[in-house]
Structure 1
Amino acid sequence: MSPAGASLGATVLCVLAWAGLAAGDRVYIHPFHLLVYSKSSCERLEKPTAEPAPHPSLTPAPIQARAPPVDEEALWGQLVPAAQKLEDGDQARVAAVGMLLNFLGARLHKTRAEMRGRPGAAVLSPTAVFGTLASFYLGALDPTASRLQAFLGVPGEGQSCTSRLDGHKVLAALQTAQGLLVARGRAGGRARLLLSTVLGLFTVPGLRLKQPFVQGLARFAPVTLPRALDLATDPDLAAEKINRFMEAATGWDLGSPVMGLDPDSTLLFDAYIHFQAQMKGFSLLAGLRDFWVDNATSVPVPMLSSTGTFQHWSDTHSNLSVTRVPLSDNAWLLLIQPHRASDLPQAEALAFQYDLPMWTKNLSPRAIRLTVPQLALRDSYDVQDLLAQAKLPTLLGAGANLGGISDRELRVGQVLNSILFELKADEEEPPTESARQPAGPETLDVTLNSPFLFAIYEQDSTAVHFMGRVTNPLRGV
């Protein structure tokens, strides 16, 4: 078996094994059957037609064509209905996608940590990377489709039609998982939690994209912006144009994530994700507080504070503590702090496993005065690099069969996820002039003023939407 085949096989086996373990503690529904084509759909797909109608296509506008500014409140309003109209089977389908994206996210977070050697901060979105690969699956034909399906965690190669993933079902379930995250986070007539995804599809001039593919992406990214530009003559100038275009379209301060373009590329797939949480009950402390980057170096940073009852666990065996902070009725922030800064890699390996929400079963309520840095983290990663590190460099390479995206043979270059992750004080809370005094002698003081880990998850889908590491709040990532 080739290294790529072994890697895909290992992924599927690990998902199946993990799912079997999960079944021991909960009512288990097979994770795959709700995500594949139905028998009736297969009969329609396999029914011969005399002359299949060609798919309509579109030509991306030049990159000079402006896009309307992103309205994040409107995007919030588009996500919420997906979570409010759950029909029979929808909850199980969303849970299945949550399981698959958690496994993929944990695997790729580990892969990325090995690539970077954990030199600093990092933010990865399992939702975004799963949605990115599911989007390519939507436009893939065999053998690429089968290989993508296996990498997503579902056996597919050599199976019948009713064993093949339905990309539209997968992306619809992913959209519902995103909606569940933000649906109950609203206060004072505005969203307390924002999750916005904007997709840039950048092609060489003259390349046409199939409309069914572009329209299908709306489940992953409600705003998709196809644009054409010269990628070959001056790749650095092309990268600069893309960065300017996306910053103008989103209004987000993302830095300059696009760089080092391959001049032979004909398609770039760049997903931009913004998550912002206003933390209920937290207020901004007056002045700045020291955050210890290492034992000898500190930086002054803005801090948020709240006193109340939080779920907490201190594990002396693993040398870490965990505090769970509610962001809404069903969304949670996990803060994972090693007892010693040098224990961060070990804490990360233990914490970011395949069923992170289940790992928190040891938490118990505790009166706590909690102080955390205000965060505005920016990170970017090329999914192509992660695939190469996972020994699958050709999965979206030059030989990939992506006939559902364009009639022309594609050379996929950069496949980017760029993230802006923000934690802010509750705007309804007045600024705090000084640190709040503990409510009583039993109140535990938990201050995250040294490197720590975090995760955002939603309990109904069990989906982990973000996982990250903070080593210096001022440097972002």
Structure 2
Amino acid sequence: MAPAGASLRAAVLCLLAWAGLAAADRVYIHPFHLLVYSESSCEQLEKSNAEAPKEPTFTPVPIQAKTTPVDEEALREQLVLATEGLEEEDRLRAAKVGMMLNFLGFHMYRMLSESWSTASGAAILSPTALFGTLASFYLGALDPTASRLQAFLGVPGEAQGCTSRLDGHKVLSALHTIQGLLVAQGGASGQPRLLLSTVVGLFTAPGLRLKEPFVRGLAPFAPITLERSLDLSTDPDLAAEKINAFTQAVTGWKMNSPLSGVGPGSTLLFNTYVRFQGKTNPAELRSGLRRFWVDNTSAKIPMLLSAGTFQHWRLAWENNISMSVPLGRAACLLLVQPPSACRACSKVETLSFSTTVMAGKRSLSHVCHPPRTIRLTMPQLTLQGSYDLQDLLAQARLPTLLGAEANLGKISDDQLRVGKVLNSVLFELKADEGEEPTESAQQPDGPEALEVTLNSPFLFAIYEQDSTALHFLGRVANPLSAA
């Protein structure tokens, strides 16, 4: 019998290789020129720099100012509209950015997971929000900060010519396409719609002026950008309370991981808030109560019961399984339940997710199986996560990247001191509203279904096949403490 560590590696390798195969196949087909300045753009940029026009600025209104609540349905419609009439170059650019954000997301997830306790209820990271936040800072940066950010985002920066530099607008536009592809496919083939909402809060010290072109440039990543000013220095905890209350009032999202403290001397906070909601199809997924086991104890919790034909892989020497559950034509829920779940989650999360892993599906064909009929039972999920990118940058040995010496002259002409750079995620996967709980899901026609029950800690991801992007990575150790 192979050791548990070997089986875990094979399970995760198979899952990630399946998710990343398209990205790996495209790496040599879609070079970085899709994301850098063209020669004509460089000429135009050089001309505008020579004329040196003064960019318009504005002072954010006080945080007490009234704000229209976020209309999430309107945000979804904007994302869907962004996928209509896409040209081939748009799709190739989205695939390139999808690959880049996957690599960065895996790297940061591995570091973040080292700080998660196995006893905690759940942990979640959004690679798209993380990448979009850093790309937004790139949009507002000048050298040397811009070059360092470009390299961290995954584009080699050895050559210093204009045509080797990332075009931040192209990157954020591709990210907008990636977000749209996820939700646009949610209603395909009778599937319920997916909801993805991204809001950015720019919280500044009173009197600090922001540049209008920078704020407008964030729209593809976050169509709702909330610029507000407040005293960040006198009482940092009070400032954090005001920001939390303001954000909840505008979004309506109740998050249990609010901002605490804002950092001494900060003049700018950049907070990204993301909400994902997946509602199950009532014809296939219904709500019920089942036992979920944590550390030899169990409790009855709401579960989703799904029957369908899913891609899956099981390792013969261990009682574990990984699978891909369709959420639409191109969106998938990827699941991994290792053996000895709590301890296994820790081992899986500390694996190095490299390009070799992402490209390795063919070498793992001996453990992957063709699609088959499966009856899946898994918890209904309401997960929340919040993390400071400044902490992750410090773990990545880049503590000064967005520090006091960062050159962010495209954000403001004033002296900036960036404090916390928060990413907050609210992730929901539930049964369709109005459906009565049942004890069984509809049995599909065909061969006898394989019974799979996720009733102990597991790992998950939300993957979109067209762009190859992983939108969420996380684990569930205890659903009862995750809400």
- TM more than 0.5: yes
- Deviation for aligned residue 1:260: 2.4
Counterparts of residues 148-297 of structure 1 (less than 5 Å): 148-186=149-187, 192-280=193-281, 281-286=283-288, 288-294=289-295, 296-297=296-297
| Cα deviation digits, residues 155-211 of structure 1 (max 9, x gap) | 125521000000000000000010000112127999710000011000000000000
Match of 1:467 among 454, 458, 473: 473
How many residues in Structure 1 have an aligned counterpart in Structure 2? Answer: 455
- Deviation for aligned residue 1:353: 5.5
Counterparts of residues 24-423 of structure 1 (less than 5 Å): 25=25, 28-47=28-47, 51-116=51-116, 118-120=118-120, 121-186=122-187, 192-280=193-281, 281-286=283-288, 288-294=289-295, 296-316=296-316, 320-341=320-341, 342-349=343-350, 362-423=368-429
TM-score, normalised via structure 2 length: 0.88
In structure 2, the CA distance between the partners of 1:217 and 1:189, relative to structure 1 (3 Å rule), is farther
TM-score, normalised via structure 1 length: 0.89
SS at match of 2:115: helix
Determine what percentage of the aligned residue pairs are the same residue. 64
Give yes or no for contact 2:233–2:264 (8 Å, CA) kept in 1: yes
Amino acid at match of 1:372: M
1:431 to 2:436 alignment: yes
Amino acid at match of 2:303: M
SS at match of 1:308: strand
Provide the C-alpha distance between the structure 2 equivalents of 1:269 and 1:443, rounded to a whole number of angstroms: 48
- Deviation for aligned residue 1:106: 0.2
Deviates more, 1:448-457 or 1:302-311: 302-311
In structure 2, the CA distance between the partners of 1:433 and 1:46, relative to structure 1 (3 Å rule), is closer
Bigger relative contact order (CA 8 A; separation at least 6): 2
| Cα deviation digits, residues 406-426 of structure 1 (max 9, x gap) | 001110001000000000113
Correspondence for 1:449: 455
Amino acid at match of 2:78: Q
SS at match of 1:115: coil
Provide the C-alpha distance between the structure 1 equivalents of 2:353 and 2:293, rounded to a whole number of angstroms: 23
SS at match of 2:258: coil
Give yes or no for contact 1:282–1:425 (8 Å, CA) kept in 2: no
In structure 2, the CA distance between the partners of 1:196 and 1:471, relative to structure 1 (3 Å rule), is same
Give yes or no for contact 2:79–2:176 (8 Å, CA) kept in 1: yes
- Deviation for aligned residue 1:51: 4.5
Deviates more, 1:343-352 or 1:174-183: 343-352
Provide the C-alpha distance between the structure 1 equivalents of 2:374 and 2:284, rounded to a whole number of angstroms: 13
In structure 2, the CA distance between the partners of 1:48 and 1:223, relative to structure 1 (3 Å rule), is closer
Provide the C-alpha distance between the structure 2 equivalents of 1:305 and 1:338, rounded to a whole number of angstroms: 20
Give yes or no for contact 2:373–2:447 (8 Å, CA) kept in 1: no
Provide the C-alpha distance between the structure 1 equivalents of 2:160 and 2:118, rounded to a whole number of angstroms: 39
Correspondence for 1:8: none
SS at match of 1:42: helix
In structure 2, the CA distance between the partners of 1:437 and 1:463, relative to structure 1 (3 Å rule), is closer
SS at match of 1:237: helix
Provide the C-alpha distance between the structure 1 equivalents of 2:44 and 2:107, rounded to a whole number of angstroms: 36
Correspondence for 2:6: none
Provide the C-alpha distance between the structure 2 equivalents of 1:374 and 1:453, rounded to a whole number of angstroms: 14
Structure 1: stretches of 5+ with no match in the other structure: 1-19
Give yes or no for contact 1:156–1:163 (8 Å, CA) kept in 2: yes
Provide the C-alpha distance between the structure 1 equivalents of 2:439 and 2:319, rounded to a whole number of angstroms: 30
In structure 2, the CA distance between the partners of 1:395 and 1:23, relative to structure 1 (3 Å rule), is closer
| Cα deviation digits, residues 350-371 of structure 1 (max 9, x gap) | 6965566975973421211111
